[in-house]
Amino acid sequence: MVETIRQPRSMYDFKPDESLEPAEMYRQLVEAARALTDGESDEVANMANVAALIGEFVPRLNWAGFYRVIRNGTEKELVLGPFVGRPACIRIPFGQGVCGVAAASGETQLVADVHAFPGHIACDAASQSELVVPVIRGGEVMAVIDCDSPELGRFSEQDAAGIEALAALLSDRI
């Protein structure tokens, strides 16, 4: 007789059902992020877990993670934070690249073809489209959430709304 070995489900087992509609997938992603960051004050731990959750929930990405706004004298720049994917550019000046424009403008950047975006910074040559959402606290951009896909036109307004809901949750958690 063959014995069935059951894998225990841990409290961190948030793997979603792959047939979920995007709206429901993002609702579950935000709820998982809420549960994992609730009561935790360490922003690095929270960004690390949320980057991992995006990687688990959002299909067809090659990179997902954070760039944090850091003051460098009188200038502000973006510095790489927790992510899933290949090693990436460490520092990005405000206003440069998709991330720098999102940080400087405080507005979501939904880019169907990164090669058509002036000043796009290529970290992973596989990236074809990109979604960058600022995390704002008290009117100031604290960080951006960056999602890259190897597919052209991967991101829709629904993806933007979903990652914006995640950014709103993280406003006082990172």
Least Å distance between CB 130 and ligand SME? 6
Least Å distance between CB 117 and ligand SME? 7
**Cα of 168 vs its chain's centroid, Å:** 12
Cβ closer to ligand SME: 49 or 149? 149
Site residues, ligand SME (CB under 6 A): 63, 88-89, 92, 97-100, 120-121, 123, 127, 130, 146, 148
Residue 28 CB partners (closer than 8 Å, separation 6+)? 14, 16, 20, 57
Residue 58 CB partners (closer than 8 Å, separation 6+)? 25, 29, 64, 147, 159
- Of all residues in the shown chain, the one whose CB is closest to ligand SME is 97
Least Å distance between CB 16 and ligand SME? 23
Cβ closer to ligand SME: 91 or 137? 91
Task: Give the span between the Cα atoms of 36 and 42, in whole angstroms.
Answer: 12
